[in-house]
Protein backbone atom coordinates (compact mmCIF):
# COMPACT_ATOMS: atom_id res chain seq x y z
CA UNK A 1 0.00 0.00 0.00
CA UNK A 2 1.29 3.45 -0.94
CA UNK A 3 0.55 6.06 1.73
CA UNK A 4 1.41 9.76 1.45
CA UNK A 5 1.27 11.91 4.61
CA UNK A 6 1.19 15.72 4.49
CA UNK A 7 1.42 18.08 7.48
CA UNK A 8 1.81 21.75 6.55
CA UNK A 9 0.02 23.23 9.58
CA UNK A 10 3.23 24.01 11.53
CA UNK A 11 6.30 26.15 10.85
CA UNK A 12 8.10 22.92 9.96
CA UNK A 13 6.25 20.74 7.47
CA UNK A 14 6.29 16.94 7.71
CA UNK A 15 6.09 14.84 4.55
CA UNK A 16 6.19 11.03 4.64
CA UNK A 17 5.75 8.34 2.01
CA UNK A 18 5.30 4.66 2.82
CA UNK A 19 5.40 2.03 0.06
CA UNK A 20 5.87 -1.72 -0.20
CA UNK A 21 9.46 -0.97 -1.26
CA UNK A 22 10.36 1.32 1.61
CA UNK A 23 9.76 4.72 3.19
CA UNK A 24 10.85 8.29 2.68
CA UNK A 25 10.67 11.02 5.33
CA UNK A 26 11.18 14.74 4.92
CA UNK A 27 10.91 17.96 6.94
CA UNK A 28 10.60 21.36 5.29
CA UNK A 29 11.41 24.70 6.87
CA UNK A 30 11.06 26.99 3.86
CA UNK A 31 7.80 28.34 2.41
CA UNK A 32 5.35 25.46 2.34
CA UNK A 33 3.48 26.86 -0.66
CA UNK A 34 6.68 26.65 -2.75
CA UNK A 35 8.48 23.62 -1.33
CA UNK A 36 5.83 21.02 -0.44
CA UNK A 37 4.66 19.86 -3.87
CA UNK A 38 8.20 19.64 -5.38
CA UNK A 39 9.29 17.58 -2.36
CA UNK A 40 6.35 15.21 -2.77
CA UNK A 41 7.11 14.80 -6.47
CA UNK A 42 10.76 14.01 -5.65
CA UNK A 43 9.74 11.41 -3.07
CA UNK A 44 7.30 9.73 -5.47
CA UNK A 45 9.92 9.75 -8.22
CA UNK A 46 12.42 7.96 -5.96
CA UNK A 47 10.04 4.95 -5.99
CA UNK A 48 9.02 5.42 -9.63
CA UNK A 49 5.50 6.34 -8.51
CA UNK A 50 2.95 8.77 -9.90
CA UNK A 51 0.06 10.41 -8.01
CA UNK A 52 -2.30 7.85 -9.56
CA UNK A 53 -0.33 5.08 -7.83
CA UNK A 54 -1.18 6.32 -4.35
CA UNK A 55 -3.69 4.36 -2.29
CA UNK A 56 -4.09 6.69 0.72
CA UNK A 57 -3.34 10.32 1.53
CA UNK A 58 -3.24 11.38 5.17
CA UNK A 59 -3.40 15.12 5.86
CA UNK A 60 -3.31 17.33 8.94
CA UNK A 61 -6.41 19.58 8.86
CA UNK A 62 -5.26 21.86 11.71
CA UNK A 63 -5.50 23.94 13.77
CA UNK A 64 -2.39 25.87 12.88
CA UNK A 65 -1.18 28.16 10.12
CA UNK A 66 -4.10 29.30 7.95
CA UNK A 67 -1.94 29.39 4.84
CA UNK A 68 -0.16 26.13 5.66
CA UNK A 69 -3.38 24.20 6.18
CA UNK A 70 -4.74 25.45 2.86
CA UNK A 71 -1.54 24.39 1.08
CA UNK A 72 -1.82 20.80 2.32
CA UNK A 73 -5.52 20.46 1.58
CA UNK A 74 -5.14 22.00 -1.88
CA UNK A 75 -2.50 19.40 -2.78
CA UNK A 76 -4.77 16.61 -1.56
CA UNK A 77 -7.71 17.95 -3.58
CA UNK A 78 -5.50 18.11 -6.65
CA UNK A 79 -4.31 14.51 -6.25
CA UNK A 80 -7.87 13.30 -5.70
CA UNK A 81 -8.95 14.72 -9.05
CA UNK A 82 -6.58 12.38 -10.90
CA UNK A 83 -7.05 9.26 -8.74
CA UNK A 84 -10.63 8.04 -8.21
CA UNK A 85 -9.52 5.08 -6.07
CA UNK A 86 -7.68 7.29 -3.59
CA UNK A 87 -8.68 6.98 0.08
CA UNK A 88 -8.31 9.75 2.65
CA UNK A 89 -7.37 9.97 6.32
CA UNK A 90 -7.34 13.14 8.38
CA UNK A 91 -5.49 13.94 11.59
CA UNK A 92 -5.47 17.10 13.68
CA UNK A 93 -2.53 19.04 15.06
CA UNK A 94 -3.34 18.26 18.69
CA UNK A 95 -3.40 14.51 18.11
CA UNK A 96 -0.08 14.78 16.31
CA UNK A 97 1.58 16.72 19.13
CA UNK A 98 0.14 14.26 21.67
CA UNK A 99 1.49 11.31 19.66
CA UNK A 100 4.96 12.86 19.73
CA UNK A 101 4.80 13.52 23.48
CA UNK A 102 3.47 10.20 24.77
CA UNK A 103 1.02 9.05 27.45
CA UNK A 104 -0.37 10.55 30.65
CA UNK A 105 -2.80 13.37 31.31
CA UNK A 106 -1.96 16.68 29.66
CA UNK A 107 -3.08 19.56 27.45
CA UNK A 108 -1.62 20.27 24.03
CA UNK A 109 -1.18 23.97 23.25
CA UNK A 110 -0.67 25.97 20.05
CA UNK A 111 -0.34 29.74 19.81
CA UNK A 112 -3.45 31.25 18.18
CA UNK A 113 -2.06 34.81 18.51
CA UNK A 114 -3.81 37.86 20.00
CA UNK A 115 -3.39 36.35 23.47
CA UNK A 116 -5.32 33.19 22.62
CA UNK A 117 -4.35 29.54 22.33
CA UNK A 118 -5.57 26.37 20.66
CA UNK A 119 -5.90 23.69 23.34
CA UNK A 120 -6.98 20.03 23.55
CA UNK A 121 -7.09 17.63 26.51
CA UNK A 122 -5.58 14.15 26.51
CA UNK A 123 -5.47 11.20 28.89
CA UNK A 124 -3.66 7.92 28.26
CA UNK A 125 -3.31 8.66 24.57
CA UNK A 126 -6.98 9.52 24.06
CA UNK A 127 -8.38 12.98 23.37
CA UNK A 128 -10.86 13.80 26.14
CA UNK A 129 -11.72 17.31 24.95
CA UNK A 130 -11.66 18.32 21.29
CA UNK A 131 -9.55 21.31 20.18
CA UNK A 132 -10.89 24.63 21.47
CA UNK A 133 -9.80 28.26 21.67
CA UNK A 134 -9.03 29.91 25.00
CA UNK A 135 -7.02 32.73 26.55
CA UNK A 136 -6.55 30.96 29.88
CA UNK A 137 -4.61 27.67 29.86
CA UNK A 138 -4.67 25.94 33.24
CA UNK A 139 -2.98 22.56 33.58
CA UNK A 140 -0.11 21.01 35.50
CA UNK A 141 1.17 19.40 32.31
CA UNK A 142 1.16 21.33 29.03
CA UNK A 143 2.74 20.26 25.76
CA UNK A 144 3.56 22.50 22.82
CA UNK A 145 5.93 22.92 19.89
CA UNK A 146 9.58 23.87 20.35
CA UNK A 147 9.30 26.30 17.47
CA UNK A 148 6.66 28.35 19.30
CA UNK A 149 8.59 28.42 22.59
CA UNK A 150 5.65 29.53 24.75
CA UNK A 151 6.97 30.39 28.21
CA UNK A 152 4.19 28.73 30.20
CA UNK A 153 4.29 25.44 28.26
CA UNK A 154 6.10 22.85 30.37
CA UNK A 155 7.05 20.32 27.69
CA UNK A 156 8.13 21.32 24.18
CA UNK A 157 8.35 18.78 21.36
CA UNK A 158 9.37 18.77 17.74
CA UNK A 159 7.00 16.65 15.69
CA UNK A 160 8.98 14.23 13.51
CA UNK A 161 7.90 12.93 10.14
CA UNK A 162 8.35 9.41 11.53
CA UNK A 163 5.81 10.10 14.27
CA UNK A 164 3.43 11.59 11.73
CA UNK A 165 3.76 8.50 9.52
CA UNK A 166 3.12 6.19 12.49
CA UNK A 167 -0.05 8.09 13.40
CA UNK A 168 -1.27 7.94 9.81
CA UNK A 169 -0.58 4.20 9.59
CA UNK A 170 -2.51 3.61 12.81
CA UNK A 171 -5.54 5.32 11.32
CA UNK A 172 -5.19 3.40 8.06
CA UNK A 173 -5.04 0.10 9.97
CA UNK A 174 -8.22 1.07 11.82
CA UNK A 175 -9.79 2.00 8.46
CA UNK A 176 -10.56 5.53 9.67
CA UNK A 177 -11.15 6.74 6.14
CA UNK A 178 -13.15 9.86 5.28
CA UNK A 179 -14.67 11.24 2.11
CA UNK A 180 -12.75 13.93 0.24
CA UNK A 181 -15.65 16.29 1.06
CA UNK A 182 -14.88 15.81 4.76
CA UNK A 183 -11.37 17.21 4.39
CA UNK A 184 -12.25 20.65 5.71
CA UNK A 185 -9.72 22.83 7.56
CA UNK A 186 -10.09 22.90 11.34
CA UNK A 187 -10.24 26.65 11.87
CA UNK A 188 -11.06 27.64 15.46
CA UNK A 189 -10.80 31.34 14.68
CA UNK A 190 -10.89 33.51 11.60
CA UNK A 191 -7.65 34.77 10.12
CA UNK A 192 -6.60 38.29 11.08
CA UNK A 193 -7.39 39.46 7.56
CA UNK A 194 -10.92 38.05 7.79
CA UNK A 195 -11.43 39.56 11.23
CA UNK A 196 -10.33 42.95 9.98
CA UNK A 197 -12.91 42.86 7.19
CA UNK A 198 -15.82 42.51 9.58
CA UNK A 199 -17.97 45.49 10.44
CA UNK A 200 -20.12 45.90 13.51
CA UNK A 201 -22.56 43.02 13.96
CA UNK A 202 -24.44 40.91 16.50
CA UNK A 203 -23.42 37.25 16.54
CA UNK A 204 -23.47 34.17 18.72
CA UNK A 205 -20.73 34.21 21.32
CA UNK A 206 -17.97 31.69 20.55
CA UNK A 207 -14.80 30.48 22.22
CA UNK A 208 -12.54 32.83 20.28
CA UNK A 209 -14.22 35.88 21.85
CA UNK A 210 -14.04 34.80 25.49
CA UNK A 211 -10.88 36.71 26.34
CA UNK A 212 -12.53 39.98 25.25
CA UNK A 213 -15.70 39.12 27.17
CA UNK A 214 -13.76 38.32 30.33
CA UNK A 215 -11.86 41.62 30.18
CA UNK A 216 -15.08 43.61 29.63
CA UNK A 217 -16.72 41.78 32.54
CA UNK A 218 -13.83 42.53 34.91
CA UNK A 219 -13.90 46.21 33.95
CA UNK A 220 -17.70 46.38 34.42
CA UNK A 221 -18.23 44.24 37.51
CA UNK A 222 -14.85 44.20 39.26
CA UNK A 223 -14.62 41.54 41.97
CA UNK A 224 -18.19 40.43 41.17
CA UNK A 225 -17.21 39.40 37.64
CA UNK A 226 -17.54 35.81 36.56
CA UNK A 227 -14.32 33.84 36.19
CA UNK A 228 -13.00 32.93 32.74
CA UNK A 229 -13.99 29.31 33.35
CA UNK A 230 -17.57 30.33 34.11
CA UNK A 231 -17.79 32.08 30.74
CA UNK A 232 -16.37 28.98 29.05
CA UNK A 233 -18.99 26.79 30.72
CA UNK A 234 -21.75 29.06 29.41
CA UNK A 235 -20.90 27.91 25.88
CA UNK A 236 -21.57 24.23 26.58
CA UNK A 237 -24.56 24.37 28.91
CA UNK A 238 -27.65 23.24 26.93
CA UNK A 239 -30.05 25.70 28.60
CA UNK A 240 -27.86 28.78 28.12
CA UNK A 241 -26.89 31.00 25.19
CA UNK A 242 -24.93 34.19 24.62
CA UNK A 243 -24.61 36.92 22.02
CA UNK A 244 -22.04 39.61 21.44
CA UNK A 245 -21.62 42.76 19.39
CA UNK A 246 -18.34 42.64 17.47
CA UNK A 247 -16.44 44.98 15.21
CA UNK A 248 -13.31 44.01 13.28
CA UNK A 249 -13.04 40.78 15.22
CA UNK A 250 -13.21 42.32 18.71
CA UNK A 251 -16.07 42.25 21.22
CA UNK A 252 -17.77 45.53 22.11
CA UNK A 253 -20.62 44.15 24.23
CA UNK A 254 -22.02 40.79 25.33
CA UNK A 255 -25.06 39.18 26.97
CA UNK A 256 -25.50 35.82 28.76
CA UNK A 257 -28.97 34.26 29.03
CA UNK A 258 -30.38 31.31 30.97
CA UNK A 259 -33.53 29.50 29.82
CA UNK A 260 -35.66 28.13 32.66
CA UNK A 261 -39.18 26.92 33.39
CA UNK A 262 -41.53 29.44 35.02
CA UNK A 263 -45.06 29.25 36.35
CA UNK A 264 -46.61 30.13 33.00
CA UNK A 265 -44.07 28.56 30.66
CA UNK A 266 -40.48 28.90 29.54
CA UNK A 267 -38.63 32.07 30.50
CA UNK A 268 -35.32 33.78 29.76
CA UNK A 269 -33.22 35.14 32.61
CA UNK A 270 -30.62 37.69 31.50
CA UNK A 271 -27.58 36.92 33.67
CA UNK A 272 -24.95 39.32 32.36
CA UNK A 273 -24.83 42.28 30.03
CA UNK A 274 -21.89 44.65 29.68
CA UNK A 275 -20.19 46.89 27.12
CA UNK A 276 -16.66 48.17 26.68
CA UNK A 277 -18.00 51.53 25.42
CA UNK A 278 -21.13 53.18 26.82
CA UNK A 279 -23.94 55.06 25.09
CA UNK A 280 -23.46 53.38 21.72
CA UNK A 281 -26.66 51.31 21.77
CA UNK A 282 -24.88 47.96 22.03
CA UNK A 283 -26.93 46.75 25.01
CA UNK A 284 -30.13 47.68 23.19
CA UNK A 285 -29.08 45.65 20.15
CA UNK A 286 -28.33 42.61 22.30
CA UNK A 287 -31.58 42.73 24.26
CA UNK A 288 -33.55 43.21 21.05
CA UNK A 289 -31.80 40.12 19.67
CA UNK A 290 -32.81 38.14 22.76
CA UNK A 291 -36.41 39.40 22.50
CA UNK A 292 -36.48 38.34 18.85
CA UNK A 293 -35.27 34.86 19.81
CA UNK A 294 -37.77 34.70 22.69
CA UNK A 295 -40.69 35.39 20.37
CA UNK A 296 -39.49 32.73 17.93
CA UNK A 297 -39.01 30.17 20.72
CA UNK A 298 -42.34 30.73 22.47
CA UNK A 299 -40.82 32.28 25.61
CA UNK A 300 -43.38 33.97 27.90
CA UNK A 301 -41.17 36.29 30.01
CA UNK A 302 -37.74 37.88 30.15
CA UNK A 303 -36.24 38.60 33.57
CA UNK A 304 -33.24 40.55 34.81
CA UNK A 305 -31.97 42.23 37.92
CA UNK A 306 -30.29 45.62 38.09
CA UNK A 307 -28.64 47.75 40.76
CA UNK A 308 -31.26 50.19 42.06
CA UNK A 309 -28.68 52.99 41.80
CA UNK A 310 -27.93 52.31 38.12
CA UNK A 311 -30.31 54.90 36.67
CA UNK A 312 -28.89 54.66 33.13
CA UNK A 313 -29.48 50.91 32.90
CA UNK A 314 -32.93 51.12 34.50
CA UNK A 315 -33.96 53.78 31.96
CA UNK A 316 -32.77 51.58 29.10
CA UNK A 317 -34.68 48.53 30.32
CA UNK A 318 -37.85 50.54 30.85
CA UNK A 319 -37.66 51.90 27.30
CA UNK A 320 -37.48 48.29 26.08
CA UNK A 321 -40.64 47.44 28.01
CA UNK A 322 -39.32 45.93 31.25
CA UNK A 323 -41.32 46.66 34.41
CA UNK A 324 -40.24 46.45 38.03
CA UNK A 325 -41.99 43.65 39.94
CA UNK A 326 -39.86 43.17 43.07
CA UNK A 327 -36.91 44.42 45.11
CA UNK A 328 -34.12 42.45 46.77
CA UNK A 329 -32.88 44.51 49.68
CA UNK A 330 -29.11 45.01 50.01
CA UNK A 331 -28.54 42.31 47.39
CA UNK A 332 -25.22 43.54 46.01
CA UNK A 333 -21.84 43.56 47.75
CA UNK A 334 -21.91 47.36 47.83
CA UNK A 335 -25.11 47.23 49.90
CA UNK A 336 -27.39 48.44 47.10
CA UNK A 337 -30.80 46.94 46.42
CA UNK A 338 -31.49 44.87 43.31
CA UNK A 339 -34.58 45.64 41.25
CA UNK A 340 -36.23 42.65 39.56
CA UNK A 341 -37.54 43.60 36.13
CA UNK A 342 -39.75 41.56 33.82
CA UNK A 343 -40.77 41.85 30.19
CA UNK A 344 -43.83 39.92 29.01
CA UNK A 345 -43.07 38.67 25.50
- CB of 73 closer than 8 Å to CB of 61: yes
d(CA 254, CA 272): 8
Q: Give yes or no for a contact between 287 and 273, defined as CB atoms under 8 angstroms apart.
A: yes
Annotated active-site positions, please?
Answer: 305, 317
Amino acid sequence: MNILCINTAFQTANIALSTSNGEKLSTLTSKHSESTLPEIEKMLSSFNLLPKDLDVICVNIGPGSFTGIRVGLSIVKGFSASNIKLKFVKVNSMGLIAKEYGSGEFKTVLNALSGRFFVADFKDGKMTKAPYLTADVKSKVTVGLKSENLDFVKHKVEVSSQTFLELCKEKVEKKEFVLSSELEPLYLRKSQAEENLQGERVEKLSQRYLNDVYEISKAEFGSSSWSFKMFEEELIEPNRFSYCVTENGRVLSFINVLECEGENGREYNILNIASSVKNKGYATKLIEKVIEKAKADGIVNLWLEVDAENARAISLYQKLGFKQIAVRKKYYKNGNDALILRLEV
